[in-house]
Chains A and B, each alone.
Chain A
Amino acid sequence: MADKKLYLFDNPRNVKIVLYTLYISCGILLLLDFIVHRHTQHRWEELLGFYSIYGFIGCSAIVIGSKWLRGVVERDEDYYTRDELTMTEEEDHVAD
């Protein structure tokens, strides 16, 4: 039976609120770089917005790298098991 009840994130407005909170926080954090006096240890850190840029680019690089990796290493789910398993697989017991 389909569940007709509306939950927190079924309302697109709530999703929007979460996203905008994130955008605004990011903006504030970036601005803080100009206001706060930071004591840095390495010259890379002195770059304005170093951590923000590194976080954003690093994360994107990871995702793009993973997509590329998937192209290389992805196989069917039964790639190993069709050789290894002698019985058909049983479903796990589902707790009530």
Chain B
Amino acid sequence: MWPTELPAFVPFFVAALLALVTRGHLRSVLMLSIVTLSGLHLWFLDGDVLVNMQFLEYELAPYRVDSLSIVFGYVFHIAAFVSILFALHIKDTMQHVCGLLYAGSAMGALFAGDLLTLFVFWEILAVSSVFLVWARRTERAYQSGMRYLIIQVGSGVILLGGLLLHVEQTGSLEFDFIGTDHLGGWLILLAFGIKSAFPLLHTWLTDAYPEATPTGTVFLSAFTTKTAIYTLARGYPGTELLIYVGATMACFPIFYAVIQNDLRRVLSYSLINQLGFMVCGIGIGTALAINGAVSHAFVHIIYKSLLFMSMGAVLYRTGKIKATDIGGLYKTMPKTAVLCIIGAASISAFPLFSGFVAKSMIMAAAMKEGYPWIWLVLLLASAGVLKHAGIQIPYFAFFAHDSGIRTSEPPKNMLLAMTIAAFLCLAIGIYPKMLYQLLPFATDFNPYDLTHVLAQTQLLFFAMLAFVWLNLQGVYPPEKVAINLDAEWLYRRFLRRLVEKISSYVQGLDSELKLKVEDRVNWLVTYFAQRHYPTGKGTVIRPTGNMVMYIAILLAAYLWLLLSFPH
């Protein structure tokens, strides 16, 4: 179709350009067919690709395809196709163009062989994605997008600082294992950590994703964080710190997710929980664990976009997404409900669904490498996933109390996009070999052994039993119109108040100073006025004779000086 050396982001950027100048069906066909062609092109690629170029005295590799990046490449194409299909019905050119630019820059970052190229796409990723939030066109979305943009661009700046130090240390821009032996490595890890939503650095995600458009969030959920996961897997495999960071990420969002009212915010917290499993796998760093992290990223992108699509469809049809406002929608959106349940079963890792075949690799690796406590924490997190994503999402949206809303199924393109994602969830769950043969390390892992299937089924069914029991007992926290404070309190409230305090203090100082200066000026004005009013000293008329006398004195002084010092 096109030369092998043509980087994968180019077709996406071309498609974005074409989307800008076309309308209607032509645009739909162009967008979908270019993404499909690009995907097929990648699929039929024979072996690794490495494109080099010289920039100043540095060797750059703007396009590098190898066994690790290509898996992400496949699933990014799937995600791009599904997200575009899901957004076909909208007439908003900005969203189509930015969606393609965003997916393209993710592709660019993914196949970047050096840190400078990575940095460039890292920033384009930030800028192109914020328009998907702003496209909601409310003030709330605008401000949320602004906060998102500041943090994302900040992550890029930290990356730039880190890579400069890294180059000074190692003399090479090549993007491979980086490690944490020097400051540059730590800074780059921090930059990657912001984008992968490490604890306390995660607030941009739970802030902005629920504010984006129904179709925009589907794009957002796929690319930014998984690009970051890829960069972690490339630069920091086997970094022990990541195991603990990952375990924290897998756990704390569960508690938050259970009490959120906005269902897309529940999914955002659940996204962090899922990233936690991947980060943990990368931290363990063995072939099995990296395979687990990569396959988890693969299946996660698909079922998470399915869940965001189903909630997007609800928001699109009803204009509401808060658990307190909706409920009982299975009556009029049964197909969406079923597709949502497939996504929910996948994320909860029920056997025969895609989450199961991926997550079990990470769990097995944790046990095998001697981290039983981490394993126990991840097991709790697995039960938690079922709770907040597996049950809460479909239950509160489609069942629970009947909100009385009677609507209809979403447009056909939305349903088709969801169906494709649901089909993939099932297909990978039933034939995991399909996924395993794509992984960076060869594996003969078998998720379907009896002990394991039984263990997971018991865990999930008893977790469901607990949900039912707590619900019947009335212990389960009810849906409630409220928000919950998280780390964003630091900058949305504390810092805001601090700035207000400081600025009012400075204003006080400023007005005091102004008063003092005004006083002095007034005094000066009165002084001069007094001198120049009639009878003032300045108005006295002196005779010319005075001047003659002064000049005579001056000349005498001059003469005396001249005579005293002749040289």
Q: Which residues of A contact B (CB under 8 A)?
A: 2-3, 5, 7-9, 19, 22-23, 25-26, 29-30, 32-33, 36, 38-42, 44-45, 49, 51-67, 69-70, 73-77, 79-81, 83-87, 89-95
In Å, the complex CA distance between A92 and B312 comes to 13
Interface membership of B537, Cβ < 8 A: no
Q: Which 10 A-B pairs have the closest CB atoms?
A: A55-B462, A94-B319, A59-B466, A66-B258, A55-B459, A51-B458, A59-B463, A73-B485, A56-B462, A58-B383
Mask: chain B, 115-146; 1 = CB below 8 Å from A; 0 = not: 00000000000000000000010111001000
Within 8 A of A (CB), among B429-470: 450-451, 454-470
Given contacts A55-B383, A56-B463, A66-B254, 5 further A-B contacts (CB under 8 A): A22-B468, A70-B480, A73-B486, A76-B482, A85-B140
Question: Could you say which of B285-293, B372-380, B513-521 contacts chain A?
Answer: B372-380
Complex partner residue of B379 from A39, A49, A54, A56, CB under 8 angstroms: A54
Q: Which residues of B contact A (CB under 8 A)?
A: 136, 138-140, 143, 254-256, 258-259, 315-319, 330-331, 367-368, 372, 375-376, 379-380, 383-384, 386-387, 399, 404, 406, 450-451, 454-470, 475-477, 480-486, 492-493, 496
- B463 with A69: CB separation less than 8 A: no
Write out the residue numbers on chain B whose beta carbons fall within 8 Å of the beta carbon of A67: 259, 475, 477
Most buried by B among A44, A49, A67, A92: A92
Given that A7-B331, A77-B483 are known contacts, is A55 also in contact with B254, CB under 8 Å in the complex? no
Q: A60 to B454, alpha carbons, bound, how many Å?
A: 21
B462 near A22: Cβ-Cβ < 8 Å: no
A62 touches B383 (CB 8 A): yes
- The secondary structure that dominates the A interface is helix
Chain A residues with Cβ below 8 Å from B387 are 59, 62-63
Report the minimum CB–CB distance from B144 to chain A (whole Å): 9
The answer to whether B496 and A56 have CB atoms under 8 Å apart is no
- Of all chain A residues, which has the CB nearest B391? A59
Q: Which residue of B lies closest to A39 (CB)?
A: B451
Contacting pair B467 A66 (CB below 8 A): no
In the complex with contacts A83-B496, A95-B316, A56-B451 CB distance below 8 A? no
| Residues in B neighbouring A36, C-beta threshold 8 A | 450-451, 454
A84 to B482 CA separation, bound complex (whole angstroms): 17
- Cα separation A70 to B478 with both chains bound (whole Å): 11
A80 B493 Cβ-Cβ under 8 A: yes
